Each structure stands twice: as structure tokens, then as C-alpha cells.
Amino acid sequence: METVVQKISRSPITNKEYTLPETTDDKAGIDRFLSLHPGKKVIVVQGLGFVGSVMGLVVANALTEEYAVIGIDLPSPASYWKICSINEGVFPVLASDPKITLYYENARKKKNYYATYDPYVYTRADVVVVDINLDVKKSASSTAGAGDYSVDLGPFKKAIESIGNNCKEDILVLVETTVPPGTSEKVVKPILQDCLEKRGLPTGKLMVGHSYERVMPGPKYIDSIQNFYRVFAGTDEKSTDAVEKFLRTVIRTDEYPLTRLGNTNATEMAKVLENSFRAMNIAFMVEWSRFAEEAGVDIYEVVNAIRMRPTHRNIMLPGLGVGGYCLTKDPLLASWAKMNLFGSTERLHQSEKGVHINDKMPLYAFEYLQSQYSGSLEGKKALLLGVSYLNDVGDTRYTPVEGFYDQLEIEGAVITLHDPHVLYWEEKDIWVNQDLDKILEQEYDLIAITTGHKDYRDNPALIKKLLQQPASFIYDTIGVLTNEEIKALAEKHTVKVIGRGDL
Amino acid sequence: METVVQKISRSPITNKEYTLPETTDDKAGIDRFLSLHPGKKVIVVQGLGFVGSVMGLVVANALTEEYAVIGIDLPSPASYWKICSINEGVFPVLASDPKITLYYENARKKKNYYATYDPYVYTRADVVVVDINLDVKKSASSTAGAGDYSVDLGPFKKAIESIGNNCKEDILVLVETTVPPGTSEKVVKPILQDCLEKRGLPTGKLMVGHSYERVMPGPKYIDSIQNFYRVFAGTDEKSTDAVEKFLRTVIRTDEYPLTRLGNTNATEMAKVLENSFRAMNIAFMVEWSRFAEEAGVDIYEVVNAIRMRPTHRNIMLPGLGVGGYCLTKDPLLASWAKMNLFGSTERLHQSEKGVHINDKMPLYAFEYLQSQYSGSLEGKKALLLGVSYLNDVGDTRYTPVEGFYDQLEIEGAVITLHDPHVLYWEEKDIWVNQDLDKILEQEYDLIAITTGHKDYRDNPALIKKLLQQPASFIYDTIGVLTNEEIKALAEKHTVKVIGRGDL
């Protein structure tokens, strides 16, 4: 670990390096940009991550109004390159959605999307859309299902303060971040009021609202913002009205009607409840997968039969585990809020339990491998097909492949990685292979399918390649192999599938 | 409690009393019936409860074949009247489905549905459809969520033996009962083989299959059998084929295609997994309802907002609890099977927990009432609107209203019951009022809506009547009241709704 403060920020897209600025002064840049857009409302998007950078793009391509859009992030090694990249003409997010390029080119043409690191920008904002992260810190033992975690609101509060210390008195602050329920009312609004008061400004015109996003990086990245059922509320009537008015200009509300809820606690709860429902239903299948393995049942055919009923369509399939930024933490945010913002003495036990079970899934998957694989894995050549946590997307945030990879490494296996959507596994600092044919020219003792990418599904060429391998152990952790494929492979290899007993 | 063996069986529909037969001999009756149907296949339905009696009706009205149908049950006080009733022209099930009458009249006309208590009937059967109950016995503490339970296969095994001791060697035994996964292969088939062997018969032609029903008493009773996606399997190929052939003659498989699974463990698992999914998703909402109450959130508007997403459509609304014959026990059957039929050392913890949470729901509902109701309930007049566990149906089996009722009674409240669909609450031996106007002429301290019947929903006359009551406590445990209704009622009464904080 480096302790010296890094002075550069490197773009993983262009590999270009940027020296961090000495001060946060970008007043000239901001003023120059805004002078191009007189009379337009200024929308500031706080946070240029997976959500904010693309939200900025959508606002710059608003449906019924012309906005001047400024994205702001910290001039840190992790974020500064994004700021430079947006201003230089390279969008800082790689995505298979062609609309990203289209929207970005359009914004370049209209010159209406600028990025900065100077909080001065808030003095000029009519609306600030908050898209920064709010993380849960899990203890090291948590991946083993022990379940200790903590929520530190510190960085989030600081970001809100930087708005309050600069903004106009009649600002609309629209929080899109997934926050512990209660945050808009009990944290954001009081901080902003406090800041305004300290600056000698009245607080009566301040507006605060919450509307959660459901951004899905991938082929429908833009649509996941613009063509989506938005749920929203404000901390008072005028805030709610202002949020609605703003959302109507950027979201396709004719086809995807807005849902207005009674208060921000409700919208904040809706988001974490949605994700807790999902996380818990994934966790639910873990024990049933084990049961299916014991009973010689193919859980996939069982689940598909059950899904015929509309009332049971949301039942999940088993897998390697849960990844991504939301399902892995949102139930914990909720439970934390219940205790810490509303003074309850009871956690959301079941929802927390869901996260803990899911955190353990890669370990379960590994244990099942160990129970089926004869002999030691030490020195064995292992190929993992898939690094991303999600099919057909290159997103490695909290990917369950990591836990599985770590276990293999502990046991001394020699691991090769393939993922058509991941060039570089940031969290592990590993480069990933893209050429499936080429890596299959080498021989492996173990080949595990660890992401359900299209490339591994219904791919006769892959099966043919696998059949050319020497007898090895093929482990489908996602259930992408069909019965026919399993039958074919089983003539040469040992084939095991999570949730499928030997039939 | 009576210890003397009852010699009569009384029909709750006609009140007619039948003296139990001295012997089980009904050979003459069976032979006479079958002599009317030469050349027809004989289908015996074992068990004349909510499922079997109507399954018999559906088979007697099969789509593509003419069958001779005989229902069989025990000549016991609880069942003998059903046998007599079917033969006398009164169908033993009260239901709002007009098809029941239609199908029964048609069967009467064709004289192809007979009922008996004589196991001799199995000697004449081509197919036996098993529709008897298989119960889970919960310990007394279980309703408080302690979770002790046991499964006694004894009566079920005995019923299978009575088939095996009489049947032809090439019988098809089709189990529709919800059984612990593994039962067809590990219990039913071995018992039947054993019986045949003892009778000196070969076992090679025996056929055993499983296909679970999803019978829903109510306005679509018949459709819930005939127009439904059936899942099926047999213990071997020829059994599976025979089950399929039979189902095709009675189920509308053109519109509701059959799903053939790999083995009977899989079909048996599908049913209990379906119900566990449902039960767990109900349980999941319990903690979130509490959170909503604490946070001043209306969980109904939150859930409705979440349901806009197809991936989240199966999220449940909160309520008083879970009733009926399936969700209250099926997850336990599954967990029991995992341990006892497949020798696993791990229960299905999460699914069991779901049942235990649901079992506690009426108690939660009562505790919430106590926390909101000022003063003692002793001597207070309480009106419960709804006794059935299900909307618009008169089914009191394991209704959660019972737990709530019991708590009120323990506290000394004077309870009046209303349910438009329940005349007589069998399990409690209480007659129930039907006339809503009339019972509301009396005054109550507490009025609780305990079932979501149509009669209590969007009913301005009911609201008007409630407003004529003296100031009382109105407790909506199901969320049937709209915001407007709550607002109107709150001007006079205290109104509390489960899952709705004070907004």
C-alpha cells in the first residue's frame, strides 16, 4: 500500500496520465462554460461515477429543456481523469450502449456538458443532482457470513456541506444516491439549512428531494435512466413539485409514468426494499440448490416450471453469488437506518441475513467444488470463464468471482481468466484475456464458468473446444450448460453444475 | 373432548345425519355402479376433501375420454357424510364457482361419479389419484414462532397400503398430495411393490407418478384444476408416459401446456419450493412493515411503486398473517424431507424461518394493536370483519384470524364475528354473522378488518356505517382502507393500519 499522496490520475481508457491540480480553483473554466449558455438553467451533477457521468449526459440531452450541465467530482487520483476526459472529448465510461456515444457527441456539439472539481460551481447551480456513493464497510469476516458492517455517513455529509457552503438559497438538491431511509429529512436538509444559516441566508426557499436511479451499465445504459419508472418525493410540497418538474424534462414520463410518494423516507425505503427483495430471493435459492444436489434434482427445470405462474415469476435461479454495487449493501443500509436514524431496537434480521448468505455464496461454490473434485487443487491449472458479476456487461464491482478466485488461489491453483467484457480487473489489478479460442489452446485441469455471458451460452464452438481439452473437471456455477451439452461433455470430462444433482 | 367413538357423521351443508356403516363392505354398490359403465376406464380418487372431491368431478367431466369415477374416503364422522352426499345428489363442497354445479349436474346425468368407503374399489381401478392430506404437526409453541414440528407419514403410508393390498399389478398410482420430496420414490413405490410381492404378483407393470395440484377453493375452483399449468413426472419412463396420457384427457393442455420433469423428486420439490417462495416473501414483509410504521411510511404505496418493475412484481403486501393448508406447512415438509429422506444434516433454515415468522404474524398484529390502543381490552366490544384466511372465499383452514381472535379473547374482549363467506367457523365451533348492516347497528370499541373481502373494500356504505359508530378504534390489518377513507374515518375514530406509519 502506498502512503505517499499520488499526484497523478491515470485514465484506464486511454492510459493518459493527468497531474492533479494544485488548487481546486476552476472559476475561470466554469464561468467561460456558462457564458456560452446564458439564460439556461444550470444543473450540477455531483459525482462522476457509473451513475453521475451518464446522468449528466442524459440531462445534457434533456427531452423538453436546454440545460447547462456541469459534472463535479474530486480532483483525486481515482476521479480527476474523468473530469479531464469529459472535457477532452473522451467519455469516461466504456459501455456497449450505442446511445452513450450518440448522446456524448450531441453534448459535445452543443457544448453543454462540462466537468469540474471546483465547489464554486454550486454558486451557479439551479439544481444539484447528488450521485455520489454511500458505502457500507463490511468487516473482513463478513464475506464468511459473519455479518459485521458499518455505515460511515462522513464523506456523504461532507459532500452535502460543500453544496450548502456555496449554493443559492433557492437551490433544489435532488438526491439520487441510495441512502439509508431518513437521510434526506434527517441528514441532507438539516445540513443544508445549517450551512445557509451560517452564511446568513434564509432557509425557507431551500428545496430537497429524493428520487432513486436504477442505472444498469450495459447495452441499455441510457435507457435505464431515461426510459424508466421513477419514484420521487420531496421533503415538502414545493420540493416535491420541483423534483417532478425537473424529472419531466429528462425522463420519458409519457411511457414511464412517475410515481409520487408521500415523503422522502418512502422513496428512500422503496429503493433499499427493492434491492432487499432481490437479494433475499437470491439467498433463498442457496439452500434449495443444496437440496437439489442432494436429491438428484435439476433445480433449473424446477424453477422454470414454477415460473410459469405469474405469481412466482420472480423466483431466482441459483448461481455463484451476488455482485454489483446495490444488492450487496442496500439491505444493510436499510437495517442501519432503522436502528440509527429511527431508533429501533430491532434490525431487519431477514434482510441482513440475505446479504450474509449471498456473501458466502462464492465460498459455498468453492466448497462444492472441493467436495466433488478428487485430489488437491495445488498447482492445478484453472480457467475461469467470466469475471464480471453480470451477464454481458463488464462490471467487476463486488463480483462474486473474486471470492471464488481467492479460494482457488489459497489452494495454490494456477489461474487463467477470460472475460469478453473485462480488459482489466481493477479491484485485483489483473489483466484479463479476451480471446477464448486462444486461451483454450492451452490445457486446464479445471474449467469453471463463472459468469453467464452469452459467449458461454449455446455456443457449439465452445463445447467443441472443451471436448478437445484433456479430461478435466468442468464446473458450471451459473447453469449455462444445457442437458445436451452436459451429456456431450460428460463423455470425456467430469461435469458438475451448482443446483443440479447427478441425475 | 369426546372419547366415545362417534357413530354418526353430520353434513354441515344439509345438517343431515348419517349413521356410520358397521362394515366397509360396499362391493354391491361398486359393482352396480361399474355395470353401468362397461369398457370405461375406472379412475379412483382417494380422499374426498377440498381437492379430491372436485378432482373427481373434473375427471368425471374429462375432456377427451369417458371415465367411470369413484371417490373413496374413510367411513369416519368427518368424511362419511361426503360419500353419502355425493351419491345422494348434494355436492359436498360449497363454492361460489358456478362450474361446480354444472359439472356435478352433468356427472349426475351421466351417472359416472360414485363415492364409496370400500377398498375393494382398488381391485377395479385403472388409475388411483391420491388426494389425501399429509399434515405437519406443529407443537403448541410453534404459533409463537418456536418452530417445533413433526411429520408423521403413518396415515399416508396406510392409505397407500390399502391401494397395494387390493390393486391390479398394472395400476397407475398418481400422487397429487403435497408430499415431502422423495416420497413417491422412497415411500409410495416401495410400499406398493412390497404389497404386490406379498400378494404373489409381479411388480414390473406397476406405475407410480406425481403431479401436484394447485386447487384454489373459490370462484375459479374448477379452473384451478382444469385450466392450469401442470408439472408431472413418474418414477420411470413408462409411469411418466402414463401420467401424461391421463392428464391430457382431463387438463386443458392446449392452453396450459404440461411440464414434464426429470423425476418425481423434482415435481415434489417444485410444489414445496413454490410455496416456500411465497411463504418466505410474505415473511419478508413483516420486518419492513414494522420499519414503515416507525418511519412514517405507507408501505402500500412503496410496494405498489416497486411492483411497477416486472422483476419485482411478486413482492408481497403486509397483512394479518398466512393461512390455508399449503403455505403454513409445505416449507416444513421440504425441510423434513431434506433431513429424513435424503439424510442431510442441514435443514432449510430460511424456509423454516419463513413459516415461523408467518405463524407469529397474528401475534405481531395483536401486539401492534396493544401498543396503539390506550387502556385495557377487557370487556371491550370488538368486531372482527373477516374470518376466512383468503379474500372472497370461505376457507377457515389455519386462518390467521384465529391467533388474533385468541389473543383478544385472552385479554377479555367480547368478540363479534362477521364474514360474508363463512357461516360456521368449524375449527372454533362458532357461528358467524353475515349481515353487515345489522351487526353494525350495535356499538363497538374496536373494529378490526381481518380479511380483505370485497365487501370491506371500496364500500362507501360501510364507511358511512362506521362513521355512525361512536368514537372507536379502527384497525385495518390488511390495508383495505384507502387514504381518503382513512382520512374520513380519522375525524371521528382512531385509525391504525399495519405497515402504515402515522403520516
Closest chain B CA to residue A354: B350
Neighbours of A298 (CB within 10 A): 24
Residue B6: predicted pLDDT:
62
Closest CA to A45 of A73, A77, A18: A73
Whether the predicted pLDDT of A140 surpasses 80? no
Give CA–CA dist A147/A474, Å, rounded. 32
User: Quick check: helix, strand or coil at residue B480?
Assistant: coil
Whether the predicted pLDDT of B190 surpasses 70? yes
Q: Is A274 on the interface with B (CB under 8 A)?
A: yes
pLDDT tens track for A347-399? 999 999 999 999 999 999 999 999 999 999 999 999 999 999 999 988 899 99
pLDDT band at residue B147 using 50, 70 and 90 as cut-offs: low
Neighbours of A441 (CB within 10 A): 10
pLDDT tens track for A405-440? 999 999 999 999 999 999 889 889 899 999 999 999
Mean pLDDT of B142-152: 69
**Nearest 5°: CA angle at A482, between A479 and A486?**
95
Residue A145: predicted pLDDT:
46
Mean pLDDT of B6-24: 91
Of chain B, the percentage scoring pLDDT greater than 90 comes to: 90
Q: How close A237 comes to chain B (CA, Å)?
A: 14
Considering only the beta carbons, identify the residue of B266, B349, B357 that sits closest to A302: B266
A314–B309: do the CB atoms touch at under 8 Å? no
Does the pTM surpass 0.90? The reply is yes
Q: How close B496 comes to chain A (CA, Å)?
A: 17
Size of interface A-B (CB pairs under 8 A): 181
Whether the predicted pLDDT of B118 surpasses 80? yes
Contact list in A for residue B185 (CB cut-off 8 A) is: none
Residue B140: predicted pLDDT:
66
Considering only the beta carbons, identify the residue of A269, A284, A288 that sits closest to B302: A269
Closest CA to A325 of A269, A261, A233, A388: A388
The answer to whether the beta carbons of residues A86 and A113 sit under 8 Å apart is yes
Which range, of A75-89, A397-411, B144-158, B476-490, averages the lowest pLDDT? B144-158
The answer to whether the beta carbons of residues B475 and B503 sit under 8 Å apart is no
Residue B4: predicted pLDDT:
53
Residue B503: predicted pLDDT:
59
Residue B5: predicted pLDDT:
60
A294–B351: do the CB atoms touch at under 8 Å? no
Q: Which residue has the cell 472529448?
A: A89
B284–A350: do the CB atoms touch at under 8 Å? yes
Indicate the pairing of strand B17-19 with strand B8-10: antiparallel
Q: How close A208 comes to chain B (CA, Å)?
A: 18
A305–B269: do the CB atoms touch at under 8 Å? no
pLDDT tens track for A246-290? 999 999 999 999 999 999 999 999 999 999 999 999 999 999 999
Q: Quick check: ipTM above 0.90?
A: yes
Which residue of B236, B261, B350 to mutate against A (max A Cβ within 10 Å)?
A: B350
3-state helix, strand, coil in chain A (%, to 5): 40, 15, 45
Residues 348-387 on B with a CB inside 8 Å of A are 348-351, 353, 357
Neighbours of B262 (CB within 10 A): 18
Residues 391-450 on B with a CB inside 8 Å of A are none
Whether the predicted pLDDT of A66 surpasses 60? yes
Residue B144: predicted pLDDT:
46
Q: How close B254 comes to chain A (CA, Å)?
A: 15
Helix (H), strand (E), coil (C) string for A58-78: HHHCCCCCCEEEEEECCCCCC
Residue A426: predicted pLDDT:
86
Whether the predicted pLDDT of B154 surpasses 50? yes
Whether the predicted pLDDT of A315 surpasses 90? yes
Whether the predicted pLDDT of B2 surpasses 60? no
Closest CA to A280 of A331, A342, A214, A336: A331
- Report DSSP state, residue B184: I
A274–B309: do the CB atoms touch at under 8 Å? yes
A314–B312: do the CB atoms touch at under 8 Å? yes
Neighbours of B366 (CB within 10 A): 23
Mean pLDDT of B368-378: 94
Q: Is B284 on the interface with A (CB under 8 A)?
A: yes
Residues 289-348 on B with a CB inside 8 Å of A are 290-292, 294-298, 301-306, 308-315, 334, 337-338, 342-344, 346, 348
Helix (H), strand (E), coil (C) string for A151-202: ECCHHHHHHHHHHHCCCCCCCEEEECCCCCCCHHHHHHHHHHHHHHHHCCCC
pLDDT tens track for A445-499? 999 999 999 999 999 999 999 999 998 999 999 999 999 999 999 999 999 999 9
For residue B129 the three cell numbers come to: 389419484
Considering only the beta carbons, identify the residue of A266, A281, A314 that sits closest to B301: A266
Residues 242-261 on B with a CB inside 8 Å of A are 259, 261
B298–A262: do the CB atoms touch at under 8 Å? yes
Mean pLDDT of B64-82: 97
Contact list in B for residue A292 (CB cut-off 8 A) is: 269
Contact list in A for residue B361 (CB cut-off 8 A) is: none
User: Quick check: helix, strand or coil at residue B252?
Assistant: coil
pLDDT tens track for B450-481? 999 999 999 999 999 999 999 899 999 999 99
Mean pLDDT computed over every residue of chain B: 94
Residue A291: predicted pLDDT:
96
Which residue of A213, A223, A294 to mutate against B (max B Cβ within 10 Å)?
A: A294
Considering only the beta carbons, identify the residue of A281, A351, A503 that sits closest to B262: A503
Residue B1: predicted pLDDT:
44
pLDDT band at residue A6 using 50, 70 and 90 as cut-offs: low
Q: How close A405 comes to chain B (CA, Å)?
A: 26
Q: Is A186 on the interface with B (CB under 8 A)?
A: no
Mean pLDDT computed over every residue of chain A: 94
pLDDT tens track for B388-406? 999 998 889 999 999 999 9
Mean pLDDT of B170-187: 98
For residue B30 the three cell numbers come to: 361398486
Q: Is A498 on the interface with B (CB under 8 A)?
A: no
pLDDT tens track for A208-217? 999 999 998 8
Give CA–CA dist B30/B27, Å, rounded. 5
Contact list in A for residue B280 (CB cut-off 8 A) is: 280, 284
pLDDT tens track for A144-189? 444 689 999 999 999 999 999 999 999 999 999 999 999 999 999 9
Whether the predicted pLDDT of A2 surpasses 50? no
pLDDT tens track for B330-347? 999 999 999 999 999 999
